[in-house]
Structure 1
């Protein structure tokens, strides 16, 4: 790997630094970066009880040689114990504090002791050991609460103060302690806020995406899918820490006690980044857009029923907000004051990340030969009209309005227990009362203006009536043409489809009509029967006497066949 060096990275003599959390995701990258640059004696401090040499994941020859030569060393340090921190920081010039990222958010006490109390202990140890520089790795999450988008957020962006994610709240407190400790007992502090860190060894973002893909949930896009986000490759974060440590002495006023956003300087759509990662690992790319509120409800239900799907170092609801909101930051302050510039581009970072997670790749036949960019059958059939926008949730407001209207209609006509005529009459009465009540309202109520409904809204113009009649005539003619084509027997597939549709419609109507129009149908049937009887009597009175006497005799024979309900009605 080619290492990009700057003036800040070059040193004439070796200095001693301590990397707290040196075996974590970001800590490993920082240790490797320091050893690649040279000029540093690195003390790797972590809460792990094993030696760095016995870790099977450490295969880099540079790190192994540094451990053997004494350029690097490993110490077991628990940040909850100040005495252990003091031992490892004695004689150090710089302390890099990288918190662990795999904490269990269900254990509040442990998280508080490691993040907040750990920050206090690190500050006290640095002051006691006369350490001059302390660089703390925070996160851009502390200015994001999910309630609004962030576009080019800079250092003037106000932190919300209240967070839905407990870890972010604790990190916000720890960052405040680090910044307040600046220039006390000669200690200079600096805070870095990287955004959406990814890379080899990632324990949060990439594993979560893979788990969702294996569960079949990665094909869904939350929200519109066009929200932009800033991501930061892990080696660029390590480079930013070294830049901050180098500039703390030379530019005290502009760097000490300050916080800086760190990104790859290449904003990208969040779901495009997800597609690149999942596509590179052989999983299906997301392509189905789902409303954010619906996903939030599903996440809540899954958390109640089964919590094995989620990695509890990340709040599922926070990830949902991150996936549906725009979140980009302005890194000009880091560029101007720290001399920071990314050493690995976004394209190369994604490529290296995919290679490092090759053991999680999906090698199935479908992922090798499937075309994930192909439109679904529903999209091909529905096209791009209004109906497609409603059924495919492209227009969330219109879809929700139609869904809500259908629910109201179903409840009003089917679940109310009334007949169709009664329900329709009640609905018309409700509309009339609402219009009448709106008409008698004053122009202002409690300071709010009430808009009048103009009478033109209830008028139908001649052109509109003609257009409606043309539509009816067109529909009628179209139906006649289809009936003629069916009568010729040229298209048997269409014939069978029509027959099946009519049969299903008949089956449904046989039940629904009887339920909705039960009493109306009985009354209509009785009325028709009585009308036929009266018409028959009228005809008999007009016939000759001989024929009339014969018909009366026949009527006596059939009198018993009159329905009982007709007799009662008479």
Structure 2
């Protein structure tokens, strides 16, 4: 759905900078700004060159007509930032891609927190009037208190992002720079490199067959185009409604809370995967998660993405909805793409990762899948046969408890297990066959 541009037709062109303009949401914002027609857009990102996709014809045309330009930017270089921002009136600040920095704390701190400090200083030196930060709803602990940051956060990236947001909001109205922050919840859409690909990876490994907990928890999701549209709304509101917007943080969602497992089911079924259908107790999952945390701490961050897995478990177990009334009232935000339409567009964009696609069959098999191949053992280990796998899992848990957690010696545990097995065999021999057939029907 196109953004209404009538109110901008008589305006003089304004120059803005989109930091992180080649990222997931940054691309959508750049496209919407160019469609409005009254913006000169400077795109700044960490990539050295601008490689355009064939679908980005509007951006290619804007680059050729000088309505858009691209700058390679390192957020640790404050002089370079100031040079890029010089002459602009608005800065839309998205985090520059941090994937090349791994999970190293010092590198991420320099990029996110020190980078925010450098951007603030550059805005003040370059006389930028408005700075809008793309934050996340994950930075807050209590959804009813917009500035209540948690004392302890398991996800290091979220913790650093909360620090960056606090710096930007506290810098409001210093040297004439007005700031605000937009906290979007669970952003998804075409080009997503985190949420949707993670769901699909779990689906390919068979883990999305399970519903954790009751399955009744509500979650707020946000389509990427709506987040980009919210930035445009915030810029206009920051320009005309200074008191009620400057220095404030606003929650951004699709305004359509949905059960988490329903959203996941729509996404998976649209791409050919089976919807979740096996319920697991929440306590059991929490126990498994504690074991994975221990493995993560021992093996290091390269073993598996534990923070993203924790985020998925939190989404799966808890209700996460946010009040967007302030965004509706003060920045006049309203979604331009419905949740249903957003899911449809996302499914179309990820069709190459569908279950029956050649790409999925050839390229997405895990190492374990290739190593084990087919057969009964592989079916059990890879959870292809859910009943057999779950039965074996319960059996292993029972044996682990019997031999290691019961407090008895190994010999006494083995003796009791042998006695228990003997009683079962004797009972099987003495009980009438008719009675055994009755038990087998349950």
Which TM class, normalised by the smaller chain length? 0.7 to 0.9
Q: 1: distance between equivalents of 2:137 and 2:354?
A: 29
Structure 1 residue 309: deviation in Å? Answer: 7.0
1:343/1:403 CA distance change after superposition, 3 Å: farther
What are the Cα deviations for residues 375-417 of structure 1, in whole angstroms up to 9, with x where unaligned? x9969xxxxxxxxxxx9x9xxxxxxxx9999899987899648
Structure 2: which 5+ runs fail to align? 361-384, 420-430
Please tell me whether residue 36 in structure 1 is matched to residue 35 in structure 2.
yes
User: In the alignment, does 2:315 pair up with 1:322?
Assistant: yes
Mapped to 1, the partners of 2:357 and 2:65 lie a distance apart of 45
Q: Is the 8 A contact 1:154 1:331 kept in 2?
A: no
* Residue in 2 that maps onto 1:139: 136
RMSD of aligned alpha carbons: 3.7
Query: Does residue 329 of structure 2 align to residue 336 of structure 1?
Result: yes
Provide the TM-score with structure 2 as the length reference. 0.79
* Cα pair 1:105 1:167 within 8 Å, conserved: no
**2:413 & 2:152 partners in 1: Cα distance?**
49
CA drift of 1:59 comes to 2.6
Structure-2 separation of matches of 1:111 and 1:306: 16
Q: Which has the larger radius of gyration?
A: 1
Q: 1:240 is matched with which residue?
A: 230
Q: CA deviation at 1:166?
A: 0.7
**The residue matched to 2:74 in structure 1 has which SS?**
coil
Q: How high is the TM-score relative to the length of structure 1?
A: 0.62
Contact 1:211 1:309 (C-alpha < 8 Å) held by counterparts: no
CA contact (8 A) 2:3 2:32 kept: no
Task: Extract unaligned runs of 5+ from structure 1.
Answer: 145-149, 368-375, 380-390, 394-401, 424-478, 487-493, 499-570
Question: Which of 338, 341, 352 is equivalent to 1:345?
Answer: 338
Identify the range of structure 1 (350-359 vs 329-338) with the bigger mean alpha-carbon deviation: 350-359
Q: Secondary structure at the match of 1:75?
A: strand
Pairing partner for 1:85 from 78, 81, 93? 81
Q: 1:480 to 1:265 in 2, by over 3 A?
A: same
Alpha-carbon distance between aligned partners in 2 of 1:282 and 1:276, rounded to the nearest angstrom? 10
Q: Deviations over 1:161-188 (max 9, x none)?
A: 3211111111111111101110111110
Q: Does 1:259 align with 2:249?
A: yes
Find out whether 1:114 has 2:129 as its counterpart: no
- Displacement of 1:42 in angstroms is 0.4
Give the secondary structure class of the aligned counterpart of 1:299: helix
The answer to whether the Cα contact below 8 Å between 1:222 and 1:295 also exists between their aligned partners in 2 is: no
Residues 195 and 263 of structure 1 are in contact (CA less than 8 Å); yes or no, is this contact kept in structure 2?
Answer: yes
The answer as to whether partners of 2:146 and 2:249 remain within 8 angstroms in 1 is no
Q: What is aligned with 1:204?
A: 194
**Mapped pair 1:76 → 2:75:** no
Higher RCO (CA 8 Å, separation ≥ 6 residues): 2
Structure 2 counterpart of 1:281, from 268, 271, 295: 271
Distance 1:111 1:9, change over 3 A: farther
**Kept in 1: contact 2:187–2:221 (CA 8 A):** yes
- Check conservation: 2:45, 2:73, Cα contact below 8 A: yes
Q: Are 1:48 and 2:47 an aligned pair?
A: yes
* Residues in 2 aligned to 1:302 and 1:216: alpha-carbon distance in whole angstroms: 21
2:56 aligns to what? 60
* Structure 1 pair 159–10 and aligned structure 2 pair: CA distance change class (3 A): farther
Alpha-carbon distance change, 66 to 415 in structure 1, aligned in 2, over 3 angstroms: same
Compute the displacement of 1:215 (Å). Answer: 1.9
The offset of 1:323, in angstroms, is 2.5
Give the alignment partner of residue 167 of structure 1, picking from 144, 152, 157: 157
8 Å CA contact 1:154, 1:261 repeated in 2: no
Distance 1:105 1:172, change over 3 A: farther
Matched, 1:355 2:348: yes
Q: Residues 301, 172 of structure 1: CA spacing in aligned structure 2 closer, same or farther, 3 A cutoff?
A: closer
